[in-house]
Amino acid sequence: MRSSLMATAAISVLLTACAGTTPDHAMMTNSVTNAGAHPITIVPMGEYRTGMLDEGAAEIPAFDPLSKRIFVVNGADKAIDILDMSNPDKLSKLGALELATWGKGANSVAVKNGVLAVAVENENKQAPGKAVFFDTEGNFIASVTVGALPDMIKFSPDGKYVLVANEGEPNDAFTNDPEGSVSIISIAGGVDGLSDADVRTVDFRFLNDAELPYGMRTSNPGTSSVAQDIEPEYIAVSGDSKTAYVSLQENNAVAIIDIETATVKHVAGLGFKDHSVHAFDASDKDGKINIRTWPVMGMYMPDTIDAIEIGGKDWILIANEGDSRDYDGYSEETRVGKLTLDPVAFPNADTLQKDENLGRLKTTTAQGDTDGDGDVDVIYSYGARSFSVLNASGEMVFDSGDAFEQVLAAKYANVFNSSDTENYSRDNRSDDKGPEPEGIAAGYVNGVPYAFIGLERQGGFMVYDLTNPANPQFVTYHSDRRFSGNPEADTAGELAPEGMQFVDAKDSPTGNAILVIASEVSGSTKVYDLK
């Protein structure tokens, strides 16, 4: 992990150099930059606001270059909003695609070659869902059955396949836990006449009796198999359309799937982030920013995953959000202050478990008792508060360390680790995944590869230059969240970026690359010109 340490050191030098400035905290926007990386100009353009706060009214966007429309999952209306982006400075709603015929509502949307694909969950969340296909005017074409809780849908770059990540979450009582799976739908002959026979299911039953790779985990009360515990979250596909990379968020792993044969080639456990080396802020009750090292292991637990080709090789990017299994029938969540810590591993347990230290940090009861004697030998935290780069084999070659929190602490101390629903909620999220990187997108701007990482709680997005994938360089942080505004009055700007789509310059109505971001809490969709 030498490259991650080097990157963190470079960030620290940068922040020290600009620590004397006093920014305007009312609106965080494009004011932290690194002169050592390839610069980028981010120009906010048009936006569409639903006016619905914290109802999931804008979750996942998909841009169609042919119709110049953005299709956005609107969880509040259980529909797909259709936005006109022929003028990127002014987005307007053309209509909505209702989905009640096929299930409870949409979780994901994708578009390619004039075909819209929507992942629709069943009214019974644990029953099989649907992948539903429309043209870009909203006319129904076909639907097929996929797995339980289809959470993400994606076209392969060659347009021959549609892939669906079926999360398979349990019911709240934890009495029905369906298997997680990935559906591979062959559309080489078009989507007219698609049937369930065109769907192949990739399952994870082979792991039931296998030794799990290091760094992968399960978490259940002992009633679920490993295949039931697996929860596929998000999919990236290699540039040659041969390989799918699937984030298994709660399992702290990435599955690598051969698309043609619909088989799992490898499951890569992501391991753990040693917070005795990589610092973080662990308490929301200490009244200050306190980024320091602790005897904690962070579980990466990526949400969004993306792939980009650099130097003739595929590189996989993950946003390390973190997530627990927390249901009425079973919950692994607790706080460090409630654990019985092993006195040998933690001789200073009383001090560590104070609220101002580690006591408030959310942790798990599913791991940590390494010797089976009933006390906790290792403390684990959810998420890594970072993004990472993996090679095509799933090996981690870079992690951004503590850079995200360091950037926010140096320039936005008054609103550091704020929640996504309440302005000036300083330090509110330090005990629970910090700024919470969730969305990620990557692409080339003027020949330079960049990664864009959305921070769900803090808002805004980090930008990294990926020219050297093993040592990306921090470029800038941009946010249009307005801390002087009022979320209830819809004057607080963009809150909780959920879905991000990078659009190549060749497909963009501006002639430049653009970034489309759907923000879940503010229920808004915004476009950024990149140059």
Task: Please give the pLDDT value at position 32.
Answer: 57
Low-confidence winner among 30-34, 162-166, 248-252 (lowest mean pLDDT) = 30-34
Task: Please give the pLDDT value at position 35.
Answer: 66
Confidence of residue 102 (pLDDT cuts 50, 70, 90): very high
Pairwise CA distance, residues 506 & 215, whole Å: 40
**pLDDT at residue 5 greater than cutoff 60:** no
Cβ(385)–Cβ(320) under 8 Å? yes
| Average pLDDT of the chain, as a whole number | 94
Confidence of residue 34 (pLDDT cuts 50, 70, 90): confident
Task: Please give the pLDDT value at position 3.
Answer: 37
- pTM given for the model: 0.94
> Looking at the DSSP assignment, which residues form a beta bridge with residue 317?
306, 389
Pairwise CA distance, residues 502 & 513, whole Å: 7
Pairwise CA distance, residues 239 & 267, whole Å: 20
Cβ(487)–Cβ(421) under 8 Å? yes
Task: Please give the pLDDT value at position 275.
Answer: 98
Mean pLDDT of 104-128: 98
Task: Quick: pLDDT tens for 269-294.
Answer: 999 999 999 999 999 999 999 999 99
Residue at 344 is within a domain: no
Task: Please give the pLDDT value at position 36.
Answer: 77
Q: What is the CATH number of the domain that holds 494?
A: 2.130.10.10
Task: Please give the pLDDT value at position 33.
Answer: 63
Confidence of residue 531 (pLDDT cuts 50, 70, 90): very high
Residue at 348 is within a domain: no
Domain that holds residue 359: 2-323+330-339+354-530
Residue at 247 is within a domain: yes
**pLDDT at residue 329 greater than cutoff 90:** yes
Residue at 394 is within a domain: yes
At residue 354's C-alpha, the angle toward residues 352 and 359, to 5°, is: 75
Mean pLDDT of 162-185: 98
* Region of 498 on the Ramachandran plot (φ > 0 left; ψ -120 to 50 alpha; else beta): alpha
Task: Please give the pLDDT value at position 400.
Answer: 98
Task: Quick: pLDDT tens for 423-458.
Answer: 889 999 999 999 999 999 999 999 999 999 999 999
Task: Please give the pLDDT value at position 273.
Answer: 98
Strand 297-299 relative to strand 380-382, pairing? parallel
Domain count, the chain: 1
Residue at 349 is within a domain: no
Residue at 174 is within a domain: yes
Cβ(411)–Cβ(462) under 8 Å? no
Task: Quick: pLDDT tens for 356-400.
Answer: 999 999 999 999 999 999 999 999 999 999 999 999 999 999 999
Residue at 128 is within a domain: yes
**What is the end-to-end Cα distance of the chain in Å, rounded?**
31
Residue at 9 is within a domain: yes
